[in-house]
Amino acid sequence: MTRILTAMFACLAAAGTAQAQGTPADHPTILLWPNGAPGAEAHHGEPEKVVDTYVRLVNDPSLTVYRADPTHANGVGVVIVPGGGHRMLVWVNEGVQPARALNRAGITTFVLKYRLARAEGSSYQIERDAAADARRAVRWVRAHAADYGVDPHRIGLMGFSAGGELVSLVADNPAPPPPAHPDAIDAADARPDFQVLVYPGPLGIPAKAVAGAPPAFLAAGSLDQCCGTPTLTLYQQLRSAGVSAELHMFADTDHGFNVAMHSERLSLQHWPDRLMDWLGDEGWLTPDGRKAAAARKPFE
C-alpha cells in the first residue's frame, strides 16, 4: 500500500510540474542569438541538462514566453531571471511560477535562461556573459514588443537571488561598450523601464549608476545573511538618488521564498500582491499611467 501511495504522489507531482511548465507549443522558446551567443558559438546547439526541474549547462541563452490571457492583457512585459547561484537555474519556483503569477495580472512574461558562470567547468563570466544575456533579453522583448501585445515603454526586468544580481548589473550599473558586431536587436535599449529585485545577491551592489535608474521594487527576508544587506543597500542608494523605490523586508524570513511555494506565512503568500499594488500605483498597468502617476502630488 505504501508503495502504491508513493507512486501516486510521484505521478501527481510530475503532472503538476508538467502543467506548470506547459508544452513547447503553449510557451515557445526563442534563442536570443540564433547562431550562438557571442564568444560561445562553438557550444551552439549543445543540449541543456535538467535535473529535478533545475536547469544546468546553458550555452544558448533563450526566452520562454508566457502570454497573458488576451481578455485581460494590459500591455506590460516582464523578463524574469531565475536564481541558482550562477550554477543552475531554479526554473520552476523562480521562473515558471512567477511567470504564471504575473500572467494572472495581465502581464506577459519572458523567462530567461542565461549562461552559468559558476557551473563546473564553465568559462563564462557573470558580468561579461550572464549580464549580456539579460541585456539581450530586454532588447529582444523591446524589439519584438508588437508581436506579443507589449508596450515597448512598459518592460520590466525581474530577478531572484543571482537573477537579481543581473537585474542590478543591467539597471543600476554602467552599461558596457556596444557589441563589436551589432545586429538589429542591439539597436534597442537594454535598460528596463522598471526593475523588480527579489532577495538579490551582492554582485553589483553598491551600484555605480543609480542616478537615472528605473523605478524599483525590492523584497527580501530579515534573516537572509546573503542578500538582506544588499537589498537594503540598493534601496538606500536609490532613495538617496531620488529614484522611486519600494522595499519589503519580511520578518523571520530567510533566503529563497520565491512566490511562497514552500511557506505558510501570510506575508509571503501575499507578497506578489504587494508587487501588483506597486505596479498599479506607479502607473505601469495602464497606457500613459506612468505619466499620470508621476504628476500626482505626494500624500499630505
Q: Cite the DSSP H helix spans in the chain.
A: 2-21, 97-103, 131-143, 162-171, 228-240, 266-269, 271-281, 289-295
For residues 52 and 45, the answer to whether their CB atoms sit within 8 Å is: no
DSSP 8-state assignment for residue 68: P
25 — pLDDT class (breaks 50, 70, 90): low
pLDDT over 80 (residue 5): no
* Fold of the domain built from segment(s) 28-178+190-290: Rossmann fold (3.40.50)
For residues 161 and 83, the answer to whether their CB atoms sit within 8 Å is: yes
For residues 65 and 110, the answer to whether their CB atoms sit within 8 Å is: yes
pLDDT tens per residue, range 7-17: 433 333 333 44
For residues 58 and 74, the answer to whether their CB atoms sit within 8 Å is: no
For residues 59 and 37, the answer to whether their CB atoms sit within 8 Å is: yes
pTM score, two decimals?
0.90
pLDDT tens per residue, range 243-299: 999 999 999 999 989 887 777 888 888 899 999 999 999 999 999 888 777 777 666
Q: What is the mean pLDDT of residues 54-68?
A: 96
Averaged pLDDT score across all residues of the chain: 90
